[in-house]
Amino acid sequence: MSRSGAGLAPRAATNDTLFMKKTILATLLLLGAVASRAQVRFEALSTDALRERAMKSGKLVFIELHADWCPPCRVMEREVFSDREVGEFFERHFVAARYDTDRRTGRALMKRYGSGAIPLGLVFDTEGNLLGRIQGAATPEVYLNDLREILARRGRDRK
């Protein structure tokens, strides 16, 4: 009898360990999901597909022009586009994409809408009309205020 009793203890410990591992894994996955929503989600889409997705979702189009070699662009990535409040604002209002100005699409957009300096944020309606631009690096608060001003101007223009 003591022999079978001894056999139960390791099983109970194994079940407890397995339960704890599953709980930790579920918690980490949940935290990862929450963290992934806390930043701007840039789509890897063509400009036409981006506009189409914005039309289907009832949102505006946001395009960020950047380059890998650009220090202010890296600051924006690290401090603004990873900010929870900025991410939530983008989730509500925009379908967003990033284009490198050293590549064809980014270069063409920069030539058409830019003035030579990056980072450059462009806000469009779903018909392709430029609603506003934000040039240079900023804090999350300043960037959000600039975006709100563009949205407010759009609201005034629609009346």
* pLDDT tens by residue, 63-111: 999 999 999 999 999 999 999 999 999 999 999 999 999 999 999 999 9
Strand runs labelled E in the chain? 42-43, 60-66, 94-100, 120-124, 130-135
Mean pLDDT of the chain: 83
Distance between CA atoms of 147 and 81, rounded to whole angstroms? Answer: 13
| d(C-alpha 87, C-alpha 62), whole Å | 12
Residue with tokens 């920069």: 110
Q: Give me 7's structure tokens.
A: 């056999």
Task: Write phi, then psi, for 80 (nearest 5 degrees).
Answer: -105, -55
Q: State the pLDDT at residue 56.
A: 94
- The pLDDT assigned to 96 comes to 95
- Please, which pLDDT band fits residue 37 given cuts at 50, 70 and 90? very low
DSSP annotation of 16: H
Three-state DSSP at 137 gives: coil
**Given CA atoms 37, 143, 108, 55 in this order, what sign does their dihedral have?**
positive
- 37: which 2 tokens? 């929503």
Eight-class DSSP state of 76 = I
For residue 23, what pLDDT is reported?
A: 67
Backbone angles phi, psi at 152, to 5 degrees: -65, -40
28: pLDDT confidence band, cut at 50, 70 and 90? low
Residue 35 — very low, low, confident or very high, per pLDDT cuts 50/70/90?
very low
Give the residue, 31 or 50, on which the prediction is more confident.
Answer: 50
Q: With 0-12 CB in 10 A as exposed, 13-18 as middle and 19+ as buried, what is 114?
A: middle
pLDDT category, 2, cuts 50, 70, 90? very low
Q: Mean pLDDT across the stretch 53-72?
A: 95
In three-state secondary structure terms, 24 is: helix
